[in-house]
């Protein structure tokens, strides 16, 4: 695997090849693409590559390319190239930020050689060797991935402070505890799992962790719901629902308390397949939650056809809703919309009491975030739960 690699996408071959050439001269292995479809397939199979993309193309606009990169959970540096004015470029940067895409540089066309050279040199400095497929497969064999748990709470009327909360469950978030790399976050390894076609194995590994967690709770008398996250490739895997169900069968699990979280962009990549898999999960009795809501722009008509029972408002909106009235209006509209569609609404990324109080005023049902707790290793999560019970708060039914 090349250490420094960049994929250049531009519909104008002269410009694209020129940028790719400057990259090569700066020591970065580069490939030029004129077709967004080919470019995106290459990114999916080589997520270690950085990308440079043109914002204006006849076959697919740059924002759509960014959106597709977000579906792939792309997390490598992105260079945006465009002849558009600064305002449009800033809007693109904002779109990328909301979608958790790391834009490292914005280059106005025509780009000067020296400017490009500096950017590529900077990239080299920031690139570190990503794990290979075999390293990830080995790590799974050695059981190095661990399910951390972040509490999920119901927002209730407070006795003293206006809004209070009671714990109802946890979201499981994977970490890779690598002996050589330290604790690696999922944003880094999930796209590599997908690129290495290890999704099926990883989902089974996650299900095993979930079963261990649920069994541990049963023994400790913890009556909590458990949410787990699925990628786009998982919800396109037609055997997924049966595999999960078989894992749970005979364990005395209330399937409704196992919640499958899927982002709206993952559910929308191949909506027909996702509809099939998500419906099967519902038919098996599992609960479904629409994750990161508010970051994509899928059609509500399509979303409504999917059998979700819960909607999670993305943390980029929640973290902004105290400071920005505009965002507050959007959050309120999402909460009302969710309720009108019969959905439970969750706010993610709650970091302070003021946000919790505001969400209570806006009628939001559930919340999650550092204000309650960070994702915790299993034992600490159990202790967190039991401490809340000791404090005299009874867990509510989700």
Q: What are the residues binding Ca ion (CB under 5 A)? A: 229, 261, 291-292
- For residue 240, the minimal CB distance to ligand C2E (Å) is 12
Residue nearest to ligand C2E as judged by C-beta position? 369
CB of 229 to ligand C2E, least distance (A): 4
Cβ of residue 80: shortest distance to ligand C2E, in angstroms?
23
Of 229 and 287, the one with the shorter C-beta distance to Ca ion is 229
Q: Which does 151 bind (CB under 5 to 8 A by kind): ligand C2E, Ca ion, none?
A: none
DSSP β-ladder status, 287-293 and 310-313: parallel
Closer residue to ligand C2E in complex, CB, 43/350:
350
Give the nearer residue to Ca ion in terms of CB position, either 81 or 378: 378
3-state secondary structure of 92: helix
The residue among 71 and 123 lying less far from Ca ion, judged by its C-beta, is 71
If contact means CB under 5 to 8 A according to the sort of partner, which of Ca ion, ligand C2E, none does residue 136 touch?
Answer: none
The residues binding ligand C2E (CB under 6 A) are 150, 173-174, 185-187, 190, 206, 229-231, 261, 291-292, 315, 348-351, 368-370, 375
- CA torsion sign for 313, 314, 315, 320 is negative
Smallest gap from Cβ 353 to ligand C2E, in A, equals 13
CA distance 149 to 152: 9
179 backbone dihedrals φ, ψ, rounded to 5°: -65, -25
Encoding tokens for residue 226? 């458990």
CB-nearer residue toward ligand C2E: 20 or 331: 331
Closest CA to 316 of 290, 295, 297: 295
Binder of residue 294, out of ligand C2E, Ca ion, none (CB less than 5 to 8 A by kind): none
Q: Is the Cβ of residue 26 or residue 194 nearer to Ca ion in the bound state?
A: 194
Give the nearest distance from C-beta 375 to ligand C2E in angstroms: 5
Q: Residue 348 is encoded by which pair of tokens?
A: 């993610």
DSSP state of 376: B
191 binds, among Ca ion, ligand C2E, none (CB under 5 to 8 A by kind): none
Question: Which residue's entry shows tokens 């998982």?
Answer: 234
> Helix or strand or coil: residue 283?
helix
B/e letters for 74-108, b = 16+ CB within 10 Å, e = fewer, are bbbbbbbbbeeeeeebeebbebbebbbbebebbbe
Q: How far is the CB of 348 from ligand C2E (least distance, A)?
A: 6
Considering the complex, what minimum distance in angstroms separates the CB of residue 232 from ligand C2E?
9
* SS (HEC) of 289-303: EEEEECCCCCCHHHH
Integer Cα distance of 46 and 50 in angstroms: 9
Give the closest residue to 332 by CA, choosing from 369, 361, 304, 367: 361
Nearest residue to Ca ion, scored by beta-carbon proximity: 261
Query: What is the closest distance, in whole angstroms, from the C-beta atom of residue 233 to Ca ion in the complex?
Result: 16
Contacted entry of Ca ion, ligand C2E, none for residue 230, CB cut-off 5 to 8 Å set by kind? ligand C2E
Phi-psi category of residue 93: left, alpha or beta, with phi > 0 → left and psi -120 to 50 → alpha = alpha
145-157 vs 103-108, strand pairing mode: unpaired
Pick 61 or 201: Cβ nearer ligand C2E: 201
Residue 380 CB contacts under 8 Å (≥ 6 apart), including other chains = none
Q: Which pair of tokens denotes residue 55? A: 């914002």
Q: Which CB, 62 or 296, lies closer to ligand C2E?
A: 296
Contact of residue 62 among Ca ion, ligand C2E, none (CB under 5-8 Å per partner type):
none
């Amino acid at each position: 695997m090349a250490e420094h690699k960049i994929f250049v996408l531009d519909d104008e071959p002269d410009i694209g090849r020129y940028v790719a050439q400057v990259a090569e001269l700066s020591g970065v292995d580069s490939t030029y693409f004129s077709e967004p479809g080919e470019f995106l397939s290459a990114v999916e199979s080589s997520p270690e590559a950085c990308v440079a993309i043109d914002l204006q193309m006849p076959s697919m606009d740059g924002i759509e390319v960014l959106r597709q990169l977000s579906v792939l959970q792309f997390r490598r540096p992105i260079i945006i190239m465009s002849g558009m004015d600064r305002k449009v470029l800033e809007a693109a940067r904002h779109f990328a930020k909301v979608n958790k895409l790391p834009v490292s540089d914005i280059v106005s066309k025509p780009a000067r050689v020296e400017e490009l050279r500096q950017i590529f040199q900077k990239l080299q400095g920031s690139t570190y060797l990503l794990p290979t497929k075999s390293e990830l497969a080995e790590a799974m064999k050695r059981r190095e991935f661990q399910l951390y748990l972040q509490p999920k709470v119901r927002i209730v009327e407070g006795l003293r402070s206006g809004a209070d909360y009671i714990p109802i469950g946890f979201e499981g978030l994977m970490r890779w505890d690598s002996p050589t790399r330290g604790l690696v976050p999922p944003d880094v390894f999930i796209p590599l799992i997908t690129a290495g076609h290890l999704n099926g194995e990883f989902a089974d590994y996650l299900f095993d962790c979930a079963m261990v967690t649920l069994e541990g709770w049963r023994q400790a008398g913890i009556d909590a719901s458990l949410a787990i996250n699925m990628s786009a490739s998982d919800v396109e895997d037609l055997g997924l629902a049966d595999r999960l169900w078989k894992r749970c069968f005979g364990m005395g699990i209330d399937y409704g308390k196992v919640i499958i979280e899927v982002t709206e962009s993952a559910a929308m990549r191949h909506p027909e397949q996702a509809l099939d898999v998500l419906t099967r999960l519902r038919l098996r009795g599992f609960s479904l939650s629409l994750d990161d809501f508010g970051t994509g722009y899928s059609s509500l008509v399509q979303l409504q056809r999917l059998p979700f029972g819960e909607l999670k408002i993305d943390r980029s909106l929640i973290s902004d809703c105290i400071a920005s009235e505009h965002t507050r209006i959007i959050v309120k509209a999402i909460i009302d919309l969710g309720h009108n569609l019969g959905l439970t609404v969750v706010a993610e990324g709650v970091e302070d009491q003021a946000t919790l109080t505001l969400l209570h005023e806006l009628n939001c049902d559930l919340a999650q975030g550092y204000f309650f707790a960070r994702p915790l290793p299993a034992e600490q999560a159990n202790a967190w739960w039991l401490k809340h019970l000791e404090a005299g708060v009874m867990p509510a039914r989700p």
